[in-house]
Structures are given as structure tokens and as C-alpha cells.
A and B are shown apart, each in its own frame.
Chain A
Amino acid sequence: MTMFHFFNCAILTFGPHAVYYSATPLSEYDTLGTSVKAALVYLGTALVKLVCLATFLQVSENDGFDPYQELLKALIGFIDVAGLYFALTQLTHRNISQNHKFQAVGLGWAFADSVLHRLAPLWVGARGLEFTWDYILQGLEANANLVLSISLAALGSLIWLRKNKPKTLIPIIYACAGIVATMPSITSYLRRGLGWHFPKVVGFELFTSLVMAFISWQLFSACQRPYV
């Protein structure tokens, strides 16, 4: 049963990425190369973040919420945004429309994030005899992360790739991008500072990811509309 449980949690964690790729027109336009490149950029970003964290962060003895440390972590988190910028703008992509570009980049980004952060604990832990809900919750978290990554990629492509945007929407775009980018800090604050349990945090992540996805979808389609 334990391999069975591992298999279940694995399809929960990685299944949606595969489903997203095959269900949307991404598979038709063969944007796998883009996704793979985005995944590699994520790996590079993760390495840079690791080095910065190791250099600047102090290890705290207790598990409490230290505002200064969290601020530092948030700042380092912006390296994520820089990485996404690099992936969206600097890499050469085949001739794919912007619509699909951000989806492919977001997908690759989220897939790399899941593999890096969730595959190892899953392999080591879910195969054991002991049963916990953690791995299922982790899988749900991966789903929320996928949605968030795609939203962030959408907003990023709006900010950096689209030159003509309606003036009124610009501050909203930046605000939403800011919120999505700081999601990790927000969740860690909830977990450490307010002491929320893992299921609650995952629920919050799912909810906000759906909300942000909806908002960015609206923004994106608003910017698509040709305006006078």
C-alpha cells in the first residue's frame, strides 16, 4: 500500500502539470521547449536564492516569526521575479503567441518548483509504513502553486512584454503582481506568526490562488481587447 500511496500523492502533485500541458493548446503548438527552458531558469534562480539566503540569513533557534528575517526572505524572494523576467524576455522562444508563452513559462516554472521542493520528501516519506496527511496536503499545495505561477507569468508578460496597456489598469497589474510575488512570505507568516496548521494554510493558498488567477485572467483579457 505504501507504494500505492506514493503513486497517489505523485499524481496529485505532478498530474495537473501534465494535464494542463495536454489539455490546452500548448501541446498543439509544441511548446515543450519553452517549458523546459523555464524550468532550467527556475533551477538557476533557486541556486542564486540559496546562496543569498546562506549568506545573509541567520539561523533562528526558535520557530517564531522574526520580522527582520522575513523581510530579508521576501527581498530574496524577488529574485524569483527577476528569474521569471529573464525567462519571459531574454530566452529565445519559437514563434509562439504571447498568450501561450506565459502559460508555457508558468507551467515550466511550477513544474520545476514541485520537483525541487516536493519530490524528495514524497519519495522518502510517502513510501514508509507510517501514514500522514502531509503528502496529500503537499500535493494540493503544488496545485495552488501551479495556478499562482501561471498568474504571475501572465502578469509578468503583461508588464514586460505588452507595450500598449490601458493606463488605468497599470497600477492594478503591478499591485496584483506584487501580491502574487510575496505569497511565500505571506504563507510563512501565517504558519509561523499566527500559528496556523498546515491544512488551513493549504486551504488559504488554494483560495487565494484561484482568486488571483481570476483577477489576472480578467486583466489579461482586458488588455487583449483592442481599445481606441
Chain B
Amino acid sequence: MVLSKNSGGHRGMQESMYSVIALVFILVACVELCDAAAAIDVYRLIQYDMSGSAYGSRFAVLNHHAAALHFPPGADLSRAVLIIPLRELNITFVREYINQKKPLGGLLFLLPDIFSFENGGNKQVHEKEKLKNLLAELEQLLIHANIPYPVYFAFENDEIDTVLADIKKNDAIGQPATATTGGYKLVIPTPEPKKVASPTITNIQGWLSGLKVDGDTNQLPTIAIVASYDTFGAAPALSVGSDSNGSGVVALLEIARLFSLLYSNPKTRGRYNLLFGLTSGGPYNYNGTQKWLRSFDQRLRESIDYAICLNSIGSWDNELWIHVSKPPENAYIKQIFEGFSNVAEELHIKVGLKHKKINISNPRVAWEHEQFSRLRVTAATLSEISTAPELLQGTGGLFDSRQFVNETAITRGVKLVAESLARHIYGHQGKNVQIFADGGSLAVNPAYIQSWLDLLSQTPRVAPFLSKNDPFVMALQKELADHTDEVNMQHEVLEGVFTFYDSTSARLNIYQVASVTFDLLLLLVLGSYLIVLFSFLVITTRGLDDLISLFRRPPSRKVKTA
């Protein structure tokens, strides 16, 4: 009976052993759970090639210790990530580091919350302008440098602030973080960045037909209103470009809305066709605009009376500029400028005229109207900027957030353009007629402007990362379709000079790690504890003699035979 009980017990034991082994295998196969001190969203510096030269941050994966500014001089930072809040940024220090190609594990810039488009809102911050200029300078530095380590941007929040304070405290004690002294480890597990294959640029055009009188076979003249909607900045996932050129897009949509109201009634339809163009590829010498114009029918191109391009009209006080490439003495230019000046006077806006000759051999296109002028179409750009921007400058970067744009400025700009156009279309030049008067049914709608501006300020719009069917592009198309008769989309490939790489945002895990020396010490302590425990138990249960006998070799049991 005892035997059967034993065998039964054995079988039971075997089964439970199997289940335990199975459990162990499951646990071993478990993926290491992520148990970080903090996990925040970070956005990578753009990586691109221009004419074969590499720019931006060339790496994405990060797995190094964290360090703060005021590290001990002479410390080796080639395996450390410097965390720099924008408020404490010393631009000469960063410039020196980058230009002298000093080795560094990585850079993490912490931006104040006001630049965040999620909760930037309307916070009043000390020295907003100073931070904005500093950030602009930093951006220009980073965009034009070739940086062989990862550079990321993140927004300040409580978690990372505590981590940074801790790191600073440790640094103050004088211990740089290395593999043996503990500290914080920053890990970003992201795949290597790959080239964006065939980046597309999408131009959206809306056509509003004018009134054709019966018997008139000539083509009606056309007026074009154009704005480029894409951006370029240091962090493509954050480049919302509220002013450059979100303000232009919003103004164009509002003008389209107003004229669609006018044109809906045949009695008030003008004798001009209106062509609204939302172009892409703006930062890259207005590549998209050039392709768009090249796709036009020759007759259509010749029928364009003039084109007004809108570029950054969101943060001006009293002065706007009209930039032209034809000399100011030109009759058409004079006409346009006078029309604008008359309206501007009534609205208490000062409008200046700036002339910049175009050099056909120079590929640099600073203003959108220059693409029109190269194809012999009269055009002008309305902007708050007085001097022509350089390549990749003023294209809606990190600092260009909702905070710095003023809806009333856009509203006034819309009024200026709409009135000037209407007076030209209906032949009321010089007359003091308010077509889009406030309070009337054709008044400029500030709520419309504000809601579209808010949407644009939350949508990063770097062209290579906007797919053909991106929801935002579809939204623009739908909106333009609401206000115009016919909408066309033109998809082109941004080839040539620029190549882009993906991996624009990631999740950063911050781990608090203990050093190897700590674990070695722990091993020592545990070893001695177990030895003490062992000796204690042996002594109390078996006696001291047994303990000593454990260490003495057993005497040889050879019995010597006599």
C-alpha cells in the first residue's frame, strides 16, 4: 500500500513539475517590461542631404548616460547625452561644440511649453521674444550643420525637470555619470533612419469662373491668389509654421470664401476668373509653384492678369510690404500698387513697395512671385517681411508657434487684399466703396480665421512627410472645393537637390540605473551574510567541532600494514 501511495505521489509530483517547468519557460520568454522612471515624447532633428552634402543629425538610436551643463571640465562626453533646457542655452557653447566636431553621445534640447502646439495656449511668459530669437538662432545653426550624433527636442514637463535637477545635483557633487557610477540612462529604441523614397508635393488649385457675357468668345482674364502651405524646420514633427505660412493659407481660404459668396449670385459675379493656388514645396525654392505653373495651358498662363502671393501676414502691426520683380515704373505694377495703397490708407495700414531683380542663372527663388515672373506673368508677394529670406530661413520652424500670431493682423490683411481685388474686378478703383464692410453679410469672419489658424498651428506640414492622401491635404482640398467651382490636385515628386530621411519622432525612456560597483558591493555583502548564516546554523545545530571539521581535510584512512 505504501508503494502505490508512493508511486501515486511520484506521478503527482511529476505533473506539477511539468507545469512548473512550463511556467518557467513562459516567464523566460516574457519580453522585458519597460519600467522607466520617465517616458516622454521626443522629436528628432531633421536629417537631409542637399546637393549631396549631408546635414542635420545623422543618427537616431540613443543609449547613453545623461549629463547636464556644468559638467566637470575635461570629462569625457562621447558616451553621454547633454540635456540643455532652452532657457539655459548658451549658443556660442553649442556652436563651438558643433563646429569643432567635439565628440558627444547626443543632445537633448528642452523647449518651454509655450512652443508646444498641444498645450501652448495663451500662457504669458517672461521674455517670450528673447526665447523666440534664441530658438531661431539655434535652429539655423542646427539645420546647416552636419552632426554625427542624435539630436532631439522635447518639451519641459515635471518628470524631466526632476530628472534634470537630480542630474545637476550629482554633477555638482563632482561625479560624472559613467558605467560604474550610476545616474540616469536615456534610451530611445528606434530603427535606423531610412531615406524617404519619392517624396511627393501636392498642389491644390481652385477655379472660380467669372461671368461670361453671351456672344463674347474671348477668354476672361484671370487673377491668381497663391499661398504655399508646407513648412521646413529643425524638428519636422514640430514644424507647424503658424506664421510662415499658416497665416497665408488662412487668408487665402477666407478670401476664397468671400469671393465665392460674391460669385454665387450671377448678378454680382465679376468678369474675372479667380484661380486659388495652395502650393507645396515652398521652402525648396518654390519648386511646387514652378511645377504648377509649368503644368498650365499656354492660353491660361497668358490670360493671368496678375498673381498675388501671400507669405507670412500674421504678426505685423502697421506695415506690410509688396515685393515685385518687375521694376516699379512698370504700368501693371503701378496699377496693382496704387490699388493696394488706396485701400491701405483707408484701413490705416502702411504699404511699401520692394523691388528685387531676379537672376535667371541663380537657382535661388526667395519669393513665390519670382516663379511667376520667370514665366513672364505679372506677380507680387504681400508679406510682413521686408527683406528676402535665405534658403531654409523663415520657413516655419520651431519658434513659429501659435503664440506669436495675431488673428487681427490676418483679418486686416484679408480685408486689404479682398477689397483691392474687388475694386479691380468691379472697376471701382479710386472710389471709396466698402464691399467687405464690417457687420455686413460679406464681412471678414474672424471665427473662421481663428479656427483654421488653430488647426494649422497643430499640424506639422513638412512636405516629404505629407503623403498623397494625408488627411490635412484632403481637408484643404475639401475646403477649397466648398468655395470654388472646380478643384484639381497635382501630385509631383520632389526630386533633385533635396533628400530626406525619416524617423522624426520617438519615445524616450529615462532609467535610473545603479552602478556596477553597487552590485559588486551587494554581492560581497550577501556572500558574507550567507557565510555567517551558514556558520551560525552549523554551530547552533551541530556544534563548533563540525564547523572546523568541514575545513580540515579528512585524514588518510590508509592503514599501514605492519
Query: Which A residues are closer than 8 A to B by beta carbons?
Result: 1, 4-5, 7-8, 11-12, 15-16, 19-20, 22-25, 36-37, 40, 43, 92, 120, 123-125, 127-131, 136
Judge whether B534 and A19 touch: CB under 8 Å: yes
B32 neighbours in A (Cβ, 8 Å):
124, 127-128
Task: Answer yes or no: B173 CB below 8 A from chain A CBs.
Answer: no
12 pairs across A/B with beta carbons < 8 Å? Answer: A22-B534, A24-B542, A25-B541, A40-B12, A40-B13, A92-B5, A125-B33, A128-B32, A129-B513, A130-B513, A131-B512, A131-B514
A37 neighbours in B (Cβ, 8 Å):
9
Nearest chain A CB to B423 CB, angstrom units: 68
Select one of A5, A15, A123, A129 contacting B519, CB under 8 A.
A5
A119 to B, closest residue via Cβ: B27
A120 neighbours in B (Cβ, 8 Å):
27
For window 408-436 of B, CB contacts with A under 8 Å fall at none
- 4 further A-B pairs in the complex, CB-CB below 8 A; given A129-B187, A129-B513: A23-B533, A23-B536, A25-B542, A128-B34
B interface: dominant SS: helix
Judge whether B530 and A125 touch: CB under 8 Å: no
A9 to B34, CA, bound (A): 19
Number of cross-chain contacts by CB at 8 Å: 84
Judge whether B542 and A16 touch: CB under 8 Å: no
Judge whether B526 and A15 touch: CB under 8 Å: yes
What is the 8 Å Cβ interface bit string for chain B, positions 14-53, against chain A (1 contact, 0 not)? 0010000000000110101111110000000000000000
A92 to B8, CA, bound (A): 13
A135 to B538, CA, bound (A): 28
Task: Answer yes or no: B437 CB below 8 A from chain A CBs.
Answer: no
Judge whether B187 and A20 touch: CB under 8 Å: no
Judge whether B533 and A123 touch: CB under 8 Å: no
A111 to B514, CA, bound (A): 28
A1 to B530, CA, bound (A): 21
- Going nearest first, the 3 A-B pairs with the smallest beta carbon separation are A23-B537, A131-B514, A129-B511
B12 neighbours in A (Cβ, 8 Å):
40
A15 neighbours in B (Cβ, 8 Å):
526, 530
Task: Answer yes or no: B300 CB below 8 A from chain A CBs.
Answer: no
Q: Most B CB atoms within 10 A — which of A8, A16, A25, A123?
A: A8
Judge whether A11 and B13 touch: CB under 8 Å: no
Judge whether A40 and B33 touch: CB under 8 Å: no
Task: Answer yes or no: B185 CB below 8 A from chain A CBs.
Answer: yes
B523 neighbours in A (Cβ, 8 Å):
4, 7-8
What is the 8 Å Cβ interface bit string for chain B, positions 535-552, against chain A (1 contact, 0 not)? 111100110000000000
| A24-B13 contact, Cβ under 8 Å, with A129-B511, A130-B37, A130-B512 | no
Judge whether B538 and A1 touch: CB under 8 Å: no
| A124-B33 contact, Cβ under 8 Å, with A8-B522, A12-B526, A136-B522 | yes
B519 to A, closest residue via Cβ: A4
A127 neighbours in B (Cβ, 8 Å):
32
A4 to B521, CA, bound (A): 12
B537 neighbours in A (Cβ, 8 Å):
19-20, 23-24
A92 to B526, CA, bound (A): 36
Nearest chain A CB to B508 CB, angstrom units: 13
A5 to B522, CA, bound (A): 9
Judge whether B542 and A124 touch: CB under 8 Å: no
Select one of A40, A92, A124, A129 contacting B185, CB under 8 A.
A129
| A5-B514 contact, Cβ under 8 Å, with A19-B534, A25-B542, A123-B27 | yes
Judge whether A8 and B533 touch: CB under 8 Å: no
Judge whether B541 and A130 touch: CB under 8 Å: no
Task: Answer yes or no: B172 CB below 8 A from chain A CBs.
Answer: no
For window 491-526 of B, CB contacts with A under 8 Å fall at 511-516, 519, 522-523, 526
A19 neighbours in B (Cβ, 8 Å):
530, 533-534, 537
Nearest chain A CB to B3 CB, angstrom units: 12
A134 to B526, CA, bound (A): 16
A131 to B542, CA, bound (A): 40
B20 to A, closest residue via Cβ: A115
B519 neighbours in A (Cβ, 8 Å):
1, 4-5, 8
Judge whether B541 and A24 touch: CB under 8 Å: yes
Nearest chain B CB to A59 CB, angstrom units: 23
For window 29-87 of B, CB contacts with A under 8 Å fall at 30, 32-37
B514 neighbours in A (Cβ, 8 Å):
1, 5, 131
B535 neighbours in A (Cβ, 8 Å):
23
